[in-house]
Amino acid sequence: MAKDTTHIPPSSVASAARRGLEMREEQSPSNRGGTEVGIARAKQLANRQPVSEATAARMNSFFARHEVDKQGEGWGEGSKGEQAWLLWGGDAGRSWAKSIAGDRLKKMKEK
Is residue 110 predicted with pLDDT exceeding 90? no
Q: What SS3 state is found at 80?
A: helix
Residue scoring higher pLDDT (109 or 84): 84
Sketch the domain layout of the chain as residue ranges.
6-110
- Average pLDDT of every residue of the chain: 91
Is residue 1 predicted with pLDDT exceeding 60? no
Contact between 83 and 27 under an 8 Å Cβ cutoff? The reply is: yes
